[in-house]
Chain A
Amino acid sequence: MKPVRFDYKRPTTIEEACGLLASDDNARILAGGQSLIPMLSMRLSRPSLLIDIAHIPELTAFVETETHIEIGTMVRQAVAQKSKLVKTHIPLLAKALGHVGHPPTRARGTVGGSVAHADPSAEIALVAATLGAEITYRVDGADEIFDASNFFIGPMLTIAPPTGCLTQLSFAKAPAVCGTGFHEVAPRKSDYALASAAAQINFAAGSGVTSIHLGIGSVGDFPERLDVDQLCGTPLDDAAIADAIHAAMQVVETVEDLHATAAYRKRVATELAIRALRDARDEISKDLNQ
């Protein structure tokens, strides 16, 4: 378990990092290293050049705009977890971050690294896909922006440009009244989940529920959104939620491995999606009743 020999560079600007990426077909970006280092040790990844982006100040920025929260790719998961901005404006992400690995892996692992890595059970990727976050890559000196809801296309596979450097994730701020729910199931606390579900219901005074975001992860090759738009404008009772989710789950294909059968993943993802959506609904009811 020793990596193949590689070069190591530590740029201090995005431009420099992109230049290095362009200089070597077999270069790889190193962020928190929590996924990449084990892959190097197992020789599953064999880059000739590692570009450590931990020393590029712009990539650790948090920016609040009128409508969005922009999170620099190198923001550590532990930092995001403690961030007031995240708690206030991206409550679904705040809920999910506690499920990402363990305190030591969150201390190093980054928000962007998780998205770039695209593990099918990555919580951050699930939240990004569910909420349709914007993913920004710097390619050839220009920014390219991707919609997270169709960014993930397979296990560890995205539509990101191979020579690009992810720079930030941008999440729309949640409205003043909104409800969220996040559930996952893993054999042990903080293992890669066997099934996970994220839900957010946006609400506006006067018009009621304006949108419902629901996604499931860990059960297939990538996180997926479930279309339950028909629930908008309904009272969101338990039976309606269950019916809508059962219907949406019918087309979802689930995978099987040592730890769980495909049937298990489907059954449990369905249940977790129901629980997540109910939690979101109940949060709104609580808010409105206060």
Chain B
Amino acid sequence: MTEQKYKFLSTPRRPVEDRRFVAGRGKFIADFDRPNMLHVAPLASHYAAAAINGIDASAALAMPGVVDVITGAELAAAVQPLMNGLNTPNVRRFPLAVDRVRYAGEWVCAVVAESRALAEDALEKIIVDATPQPFILDAETALLDTSAPVHPEHGSNLLLDRKFVWGPVDDDFDAAAYSLSFSVTWGRNSTVPIETFGVLAEWNGWDQMLDIWASIQMPKYADQIARSLDLPGNAIRVHYDVDVGGSYGVKRGIKHSVLVGYIARKLGCPVRLIEDRLENMRAGDAHGPERKFDITIAFDQDGTVRSMKMRALDNAGAYAGRAPFQLGKPISAIVGPYQINSVAYHALSVTTNKTVQEAVRGFGQAPTNYAIETAMDRVAEYLGMDRLALRQKNLIRKDQFPYLIPSGSYYDSGDYHAVIDKVLTAADYPAMLAERDRLRDAGMMAGIGIAACLEPSGGNSSFEPLLNQSNQTSTWMESCQVNIDALGMVTARIHTTSSGQGHETLVSTILGEVMQIDPELIRITRPNSLESLPGNSPVGSRMAIMLGGAAARAGEKLKAKIMAIAVHRLGVAIDQLRYEGGDVLANDGRRFTWDEMVELAHRQYHNLPDGMDPGLASFDIMQVPTGDALPVDHKVQMYPCYSFEFHLLLVSFDPIIGRPDIHSYVIGHDCGTVINPAIVSGMTYGGIAHGIGAALFEEFAYDTNGQLLTQSFLDYLMPSSHEVPAIQIVKHCTPSPHTVFGQKGSGESGYLGAPAAVSGAINDAVSGLGIHFEKLPIRMSTISDAIAAKTS
């Protein structure tokens, strides 16, 4: 279709990062070592809630190799509380518990020692005098007036309680022939990277500089450290040349970083804290959304879905952080890919005595997609209508773009029907149906899962001002610098760490395309934060759009300079010139070569156009496309680009064993123009695997004492290659009108629809028995028990 359009873009090229990773030459936080480095081990609370009466660390301090023991009281006196996303100043959070602990595993104090093992030995000697207190685990319970607040100073457990009505909801409900209600719950899970979070801090008093190396993926990380430590912003130097071993949102160890930053300054030694698996799981403060949806949906006999009321209640855990915003992103795609005329949305976030939440792949979109897709299945079931036909009827049509949804965002582009048709063909849908029926005849439970959903991408965090009026954010810029050196080689700088997204490939490919130079010859570097231009790190599926956009624009600026030099040198008008592979060709056949141009720019000022600066460097700080306004009437354009995905799969299981076996999995994916096909496919495969985990296996489950039951991979089950089937990706390309090459985001692809699709397949399999599974993950025991209850 667009085969010859690009030279490097959209072509199968090996990601440049692969070389060092495959050869084991990545440099991760644990590879960073400094002379005289000290190690930190935090003491975890046994209680889900308790008052701390006193901490006796004298025996620990007396042990050889132990340097210090830091308590919450000491820290609270010395640092500012960690940032909250919402306006909740009395939900104060410090790296260590102050006066009381609010979840099991919370850090009570921290030992600093010459080795991590010695620090752990010392932890056993610390005596904490604590009085257990009542605790709350359930979000609905937390809402009750009778429940004691997790933060008494805050007055209640409510962090967020916002009601939105977009469009004529009451009228649409009145006009609709039917309505139905149901509830579904998204279990508490997360992305759990193989590499846990780690940070190393080193204070240099003579330079007044705090150097930080961290396994981090976090917007405005350096700023937040500076604020908490009361240091000037330019006294924090975050090194971006640390490879991050997986993240998808969760690598935001701000509490760890403030803690080691404080210790490094206090002791004047390099200090490192790397979470072990237990700390990562229970106190890394990196759990994802745990969300209950109550949905009422209004529709007609012919399947037209008119309106939806959604109440979403999120269990944020013990502190606020940024987590409640995960109820905000889904507002930008609150109707999914469907023409739903109006929506009422009630977003609630509450504190409980569970581990703190952090951003997770999709920032709340995957749970919402699961709720919307369950609604579509329920409506079809109610009407006795085919689930696929119901979706096709309600999907936004190709000719309706740009399409304004009730909550204020325009969807940029898409052709949902075409993607679905391609998938049905690729999957041989009639054969899939026949196979399902054959399996059923053979005594198996078999079902087909269908999910259609969107990936909002590249946004400017407009959920911040929408949910918090004191926040006036209307940019979420990203930047790139490019330099051509005196030998004619191109180097680009990017200002963030990467956790597997392939930003070096992204930037070199795009710059190569713009400048028409082999991307292999372009060097990408990651300076530290003080040598960087502003950026917001790789979140919200934004880097192809924003970093790619900034790289392209910086490249175009250089090209413009080259053309201006050529005009001057060749003495002809610009319309007589053509840029080709680095050289400039004149219509009269003369060629101004790259090497000559470099020579002029770097050495022959006298041959440059009047007033032109020497050298060949450019930079670009890019504003989010479409993201220039604050919310009006509780509506806002949140994301410029909307990728589409359609999942189709066949599942079967034995009615007694209940272990789902995924036979075939086909996904149709349209993320506009693809920059690097291998990276997009990799994202999608991994996203589906992650989604299968959310649907069937992964949960941070608590017992009735508030203890986390799944503290290691023994119990927190992630799908392995045995549980993830072969996946067929069917590609489609509807370019975005808002980006340099028509690219959209793909960093959350697969994950956004897979949980809905897998749940749909299992529910289809048991539909004949009148069973609905209404909570993820759907464990095999739950399946078997439900069937046994119906059939015995």
Q: Which residues of chain A have a CB within 8 Å of any CB of chain B?
A: 1-5, 42-43, 185, 187-192, 194, 258-261, 263-264, 267-268, 271
Contact = CB atoms under 8 A, between A and B. Distances in A.
B717 A268 contact: no
Given A187-B779, A260-B779, A260-B781, 9 more contacts: A185-B657, A185-B659, A188-B697, A188-B719, A189-B722, A191-B717, A258-B710, A259-B781, A264-B780
Q: State the 9 A-B residue pairs at the shortest beta-carbon distance, nearest first.
A: A189-B722, A260-B781, A2-B117, A1-B276, A264-B781, A271-B656, A2-B120, A258-B709, A258-B701
B720 interface: yes
A261 B278 CA distance: 25
B697 to A, nearest CB: 6
A189 B724 CA distance: 11
Contacts of B485: none
Contacts of B784: 264, 267-268
A283 B659 CA distance: 26
A109 to B, nearest CB: 15
Nearest to B657: A185
Contacts of A1: 120, 276-278
Contact of A261 (B659, B697, B785): B785
A43 B41 CA distance: 14
B114 to A, nearest CB: 13
Nearest to A41: B276
B74 interface: no
Contact of A263 (B710, B712, B719, B785): B785
B715 A258 contact: yes
B121 A187 contact: no
Contacts of B779: 187, 259-260
A224 B658 CA distance: 24
B444 to A, nearest CB: 14
Contacts of B170: none
A3 B278 CA distance: 14
Interface in B229-285: 276-278
Contact of A187 (B116, B659, B710): B659
A187 B701 CA distance: 16
Contacts of B276: 1
Given A187-B659, A188-B697, A188-B723, A264 B120 contact: no
B717 A267 contact: no
B123 to A, nearest CB: 10
Contacts of A258: 699, 701, 709-710, 715
* Chain A binding surface SS class: loop
Given A5-B121, A185-B657, A268-B656, A261 B719 contact: no
A260 B701 CA distance: 13
Contacts of B699: 258
Contacts of B714: 192
A264 to B, nearest CB: 4
A2 to B, nearest CB: 4
B788 interface: yes
A194 B277 CA distance: 24
A140 B771 CA distance: 61
Contacts of A268: 656-657, 784
Nearest to A195: B657
B625 to A, nearest CB: 42
Given A188-B717, A191-B717, A267-B784, A2 B723 contact: no
Interface string B667-700: 0000000000000000000000000000011010
24 contacts: A1-B120, A1-B276, A5-B121, A185-B657, A185-B659, A187-B696, A187-B697, A187-B717, A187-B779, A188-B720, A189-B720, A190-B722, A191-B717, A194-B781, A258-B701, A258-B709, A259-B781, A261-B781, A261-B785, A264-B658, A267-B656, A267-B784, A268-B656, A268-B784
A3 to B, nearest CB: 8
Contacts, number: 66
A263 B658 CA distance: 13
B701 A267 contact: no
A244 B65 CA distance: 64
B325 to A, nearest CB: 30
A111 to B, nearest CB: 22
Interface in B281-300: none
A19 B781 CA distance: 47
A4 B781 contact: no
A188 B116 contact: no
A190 B276 CA distance: 24
Contacts of A264: 658, 780-781, 784-785
Interface string B378-394: 00000000000000000
Interface string B405-434: 000000000000000000000000000000
Contacts of A192: 714
B780 A260 contact: yes
A41 B709 CA distance: 18
Contacts of B788: 263, 267
Contacts of A263: 785, 788
A2 B701 contact: no
B656 A4 contact: no
B162 to A, nearest CB: 34
A260 B788 CA distance: 14
A264 B697 CA distance: 17
A4 B121 contact: yes
Interface in B695-740: 696-697, 699, 701, 709-710, 712, 714-715, 717, 719-720, 722-723
Contacts of A187: 659, 696-697, 717, 779-780
Contacts of A43: 120
B711 to A, nearest CB: 9
A187 B658 CA distance: 10
Nearest to A192: B714
Interface in B346-370: none
A188 B697 CA distance: 9
Interface in B762-792: 779-781, 784-785, 788
Interface in B115-162: 116-117, 120-121
A43 B720 CA distance: 27
B290 to A, nearest CB: 15
Nearest to B115: A2
A259 B779 CA distance: 7
B781 to A, nearest CB: 4
B116 A2 contact: yes
B695 to A, nearest CB: 13
A194 B657 CA distance: 10
Contacts of A185: 657, 659, 780
A188 B720 CA distance: 7
Nearest to A1: B276
Contacts of A259: 715, 717, 779, 781
Nearest to B278: A1
A269 to B, nearest CB: 11
A11 to B, nearest CB: 25
A47 to B, nearest CB: 15
Contacts of A261: 781, 785
A146 B194 CA distance: 42
Nearest to B719: A188
Contacts of B659: 185, 187
Contacts of B712: 42
A42 B279 CA distance: 12
Contacts of A3: 117
Contacts of B723: 188-189
A1 B780 CA distance: 31
Contacts of B120: 1-2, 43
Contacts of A194: 780-781
A34 to B, nearest CB: 12
A189 B660 CA distance: 12
Interface string B600-636: 0000000000000000000000000000000000000
Nearest to A2: B117
A259 B657 CA distance: 13
